[in-house]
Structure 1
């Protein structure tokens, strides 16, 4: 009688949640036990029902119990409370510690020494998909109209327009985009593509400490991988043998401001654990700096100008450089690598950087000289 009733229960609640079905079975078995006791049933039958009740109460908690007799095996396996909590797909690891979110992307990482340490190169394919809700006002209205006219396929463009007071968003892939652009007014929200300078969060899993996720500035590039400067590998513990990283695009001005101030790449150059420098020159940068500033490194005017011209990039493209006078005049004019390094520290006379890169040697002389260990006149003072 008990097994027939349970079959009916399964048929009745086949589309319900596992826990709901298990609770129904427990209530049903309780009802069967009550009727057997009221009708004066045999003690063996009541004991069998009681054991069956204990089994289902235990399966309600943990559905993976071992040692269940074949005659009492449940016909349909379910998920108990324990199964909902434990494991990668459980509540803790699946829904609390790690969550699937919108406005995020993930791809392979590559090195790019030409990017600044706070920049991350974003593929244009990702930039067309990730959007930021920009509110229109008088100053940015012409720019947003141009983005709306470009639509979702051309970068920079826009995917949706939420007109003020309208219940639905307009998808810009279809329809007359020029008409929508002309009707754009202050207060409307344009979901525009990610563009250069946008604030993004960059993360490499496993996120073991605070610096595993930091804020960068986006720089849209035509490649298919995320790119960033190798000097920032240490806090992420990243290498370029196939590692993947995540990028999130904050959706409000408050989130952007908090990310930039609290999680900014330049605000976390040292670890809060012990003050150790994390974002610093590594590998090729150290080797290049050593070779450039060696005592026997001399550069012709063309080589010195070429290295100096490498400083003219990005926001410093229009910067004026003051090349120092050559260190050697005869038989030909030559500049030392140390002079070029000094130029990096102080590119022109208007620069307010004041750094003394000279150290005292052990030759006990009052005059400056070029000592063998590069100690006294090791670098030009700047």
Structure 2
């Protein structure tokens, strides 16, 4: 509209004041700036419903922009994503996989087994049984998932241990359960981190996951060969509490009052803190 008004004014420029043409040119320039980058002149322009206009730069930039959302972000089949929570009852090579995610990942395998076991005559009937969540579906899903490894990945994947293989254990809920000792390799914690699940399909991929990528086979850092599965935080506190009364442990607890004895190389300072020149050890045998 501003552009058409400016064209009409320029067509009758002999009888139009110059100040009016300059004001109209300024309005056209502001409209172009708003189209390219709304807010470059300060407050962004809004419509009649007080909603900010979306410019070309807003469509391109940001996490939900065209580049990062559509061009760089690729969606793949046989994958899922969920929040991770701690699974203290799991083994090091196991992870808790929610049933809702598992039935989507292994749906083709479940359909094939339903047809093989004559529980369904075609794919449509098998899918209807899955939608109705019949008991036979969960039994077949348990059998299929038990011998099929899955891959867990946490972005950003900065080194080799950023993606590891696990044996899935079906759990209730919607969160992925993870053993706390494998968190260091992923650089993950349980404050809302999300992890992606991928399903290896070919026999070669499954063999590689079993032989090279299982978490219990990657206990050392590939960079400096230090242990990557080290107990920290509440695990250390739990070990301390469990062994606080064990006087035959690997190392006697000198902070336990029951272990305070008169040792020959022991000195007592004025602040009543007992000092031992050399740590004393007990053999567990």
**Normalized against structure 1, the TM-score is what?**
0.46
Match of 1:112 among 66, 88, 97: 88
Q: Write out per-residue CA displacement over residues 323-345 of structure 1, whole angstroms, 9 at most, x where no aligned residue.
A: xxxxxxxxxxxxxx9xxxxxxxx
Aligned to 1:199: 149
**Normalized against structure 2, the TM-score is what?**
0.58
Match of 1:37 among 10, 14, 22: 10
Contact 2:80 2:101 in 1 (8 A): no
Larger RCO (CA within 8 A; separation ≥ 6): 2
CA distance 1:172–1:263, change in 2 (3 Å): same
Separation in 1, partners of 2:69, 2:5:
39
Q: Displacement of 1:272 after TM fit?
A: 4.0
Q: Displacement of 1:104 after TM fit?
A: 0.6
Q: Displacement of 1:120 after TM fit?
A: 0.9
Q: 1:20-31, aligned counterparts within 5 Å?
A: 29=3
Contact 1:118 1:266 in 2 (8 A): yes
Contact 1:119 1:219 in 2 (8 A): yes
Match of 1:53 among 28, 37, 41: 28
Give the unaligned 5+ runs of structure 1: 4-28, 152-159, 162-169, 176-191, 298-336, 338-371
- 1:246 aligned onto 2:200: no
Q: Displacement of 1:276 after TM fit?
A: 3.0
Aligned to 2:61: 86
Contact 1:196 1:218 in 2 (8 A): yes
Separation in 1, partners of 2:194, 2:210:
19
Q: 1:305-324, aligned counterparts within 5 Å?
A: none
CA distance 1:130–1:59, change in 2 (3 Å): same
Aligned to 1:172: 126
